[in-house]
Amino acid sequence: MDPNGTLTALNRATQLIAELGGGKCVEGVIDEYPLPFSETTIDISIRRLNRHLGTRLDTAAVGKYLTSIEFEVIQIDENKLRVTPPSCRVDIKRFEDISEEIARLFGYNNIETTFPLIPADARHPDKKIDLRDRTKILMTGLGFSEAINYSFISKQSCDRLELPPDDPKRKMVDILNPISEDQSVMRTSLIPGLLETMKLNISLQNKNLKLFEIGNVFFHTGQDDNQPDEVEMLAGLWTGTRVDSAWSSDEINCDFYDLKGVVEELLRKLDIVNTTFTRIPREFCLYTRPGFTARILDKNEPVGLVGEVHPKVLGNYDLQQTAFIFELNFDRLIQSVPDTKSARPIPKYPSTSRDITLIIDNDVETYKIIKTVEILQEKLVEHLHLFDVFMGDPIPKGKKSVSFRITYRSSEETLEDNRVNHIHKTITNQLLKTFDATLPAE
């Protein structure tokens, strides 16, 4: 509304009443106006206006456009105008509003199309953003769907995860005005959100789920005035069958090794090669099942875990279906992704392989055997992998039989059997000595 239009409207209304009702107007008005309207004055730089719009207008042209719509214009100098809009234009408050009027009056179609100056040198994309996008593509390629949950969770989430009182994940940040009781604190883990998503999907009869989520978790610093510590995490969940049921294949439930293989493939595709999986002692298995959980190490530093969700945790979320999860510290993982890639020619000489079977204690982790062979740094060893584990008769109690296949190859010549047998025997003797192992009886 025009703040100065009241008297004009009142005079018109009085005139109509007098004409239609046969009355007579009394001279004068009584005006109760405690806060009179003050006019808005805006200084306009012509140079700035042209730069803003991409035009080449001079001071006279700008003044002419503004006076045509009843703006009061005073020229201060060659580059500046002082503009006062009429009281009816209550939408004009700042320089940008004047710019819109000039663009409209001049004609948008008359403004020349220009392009920003772009330097020839391209800038590398931010490493974190690039790796986050790559990770999402890789996880989608591995058959997982991305979940996007709220950063707010229930205050009871730590109790549902069976976390001890001194666990760092209990350092939650309270929300001052929570949407609901189930969203009253900032999350310190992505797992509660994935379990809630699993519960919702199962209630809708979607029982085969492969989910992942990348997002920040928030930890209270102990000081109310400080911002919380934020850590970006990557988490995944797999529950249900390994593959969708079909007439050509049996329905097999997923297990620990399925999800472990997903994590291994993800790390391999990210060119993170110095990772290992080692068992977590029972007392440190909080929301995962002991004996079915592995800690993920990168250069001997823990970066996450993979394992089966503890039955008690599933019960706390009213879930009856087995689920497997993994967690990775994404911020820490980024540091291990190499900035460059190296390549080497494909060997033209054939490879040869030898198998080795050892009888070792049940407590010995097989990855340590692989690491021991790597430490030997035998140049002709191209690959080593585990292909069989056996426990039971005739293996002694407390022991297990593990079988490895070692692939040998030279980039310079075809290997002779005598040379390969000598190297293989050296590796075998080293393993027997290091792990107090024995060879199976003939």
Query: What distance in Å separates the CA atoms of residue 246 and residue 63, rounded to the nearest whole number?
Result: 77
Report the CATH architecture of 352-434: 2-Layer Sandwich (3.30)
Task: Please state whether the peptide bond connecting residue 394 to the residue before it is cis, i.e. omega within 30 degrees of 0.
Answer: yes
With beta carbons less than 8 A apart as the criterion, state whether 437 and 359 touch: yes
400 neighbors 359 (Cβ within 8 angstroms): yes
Most confident by average pLDDT, 57-71, 169-183, 360-374: 57-71
What's the fold here for domain 35-110?
A: Phenylalanyl-tRNA Synthetase; Chain B, domain 1 (3.30.56)
pTM given for the model: 0.70
CA atoms of 189 and 216, how far apart (whole Å): 9
Residue 49: partners with Cβ closer than 8 Å, 6 or more residues away: 55, 57, 62, 95, 98, 99, 102
Distance from C-alpha of 408 to C-alpha of 33, rounded to nearest angstrom: 98
Look at the block and give the residue holding tokens 């049996």. 250
pLDDT of residue 257: 92
Q: CA 102, CA 52: separation in Å to the nearest integer?
A: 11
- Tens of pLDDT, residue by residue over 188-247, are 999 999 999 999 999 999 999 999 999 999 999 888 777 899 999 999 999 999 887 777
Place of tokens 């929570």: 178
Report the b/e string of 26-35 with b at 16+ CB within 10 A: eeeeeeeeee
**CA-based nearest residue to 410, from 384, 377, 376, 380:** 380
- Quick check: 310 pLDDT over 90? yes
- Higher pLDDT residue, 322 or 248? 322
Mean pLDDT score across all residues of the chain: 90
What is the structure's pLDDT at 2? 84
Fold assignment, 127-334:
BirA Bifunctional Protein; domain 2 (3.30.930)
219 contacts: CB under 8 Å, gap ≥ 6: 168, 169, 171, 173, 188, 228, 229, 230, 231
Task: Supply 324's token pair.
Answer: 């497997």
Instruction: Note the pLDDT tens digit of each residue in 249-282.
Output: 788 899 999 999 999 999 999 999 888 899 898 8
Percent of the chain topping pLDDT 90: 59
Residue 442 has pLDDT above 70, yes or no: no
- Residue 190 near residue 213 (C-beta atoms within 8 A): yes
Long-range pairs of 52-59 with CB within 8 A, sequence gap ≥ 24: 52/96, 52/99, 53/99, 53/102, 53/103, 53/106, 53/111, 54/111, 54/112, 54/114, 55/102, 55/103, 55/106, 55/111, 57/102, 57/106
Alpha-carbon distance of 203 to 242, in angstroms, equals 20
DSSP for 77-131, please give it: ETTEEEEE--TT-TT--SHHHHHHHHHHHH-GGGSPP------SSPPPPPHHHHH
DSSP string, 407-439: EE--SSSPPPHHHHHHHHHHHHHHHHHHTT-BP
Amino acid (1-letter code) at residue 184: S
The contacts of residue 383 (CB under 8 Å, 6+ apart) are: 406, 407
Do 35-110 and 127-334 come out as alike in CATH topology? no
Report how far apart, in Å, the C-alpha atoms of 153 and of each of 178, 196, 288, 442 are: 10, 10, 20, 60
- pLDDT tens digits along 107-165: 999 998 887 777 777 777 788 899 999 999 999 999 999 999 999 999 999 999 999 99
Q: Would you kindly state where each structural domain of the chain is located, as residue ranges? A: 35-110, 127-334, 352-434
Of the two residues 442 and 426, the one the predictor is more confident about is: 426
User: What is the tens place of the pLDDT at every residue in 45-101?
Assistant: 999 999 999 999 999 999 999 999 999 999 998 899 999 999 888 899 999 999 999
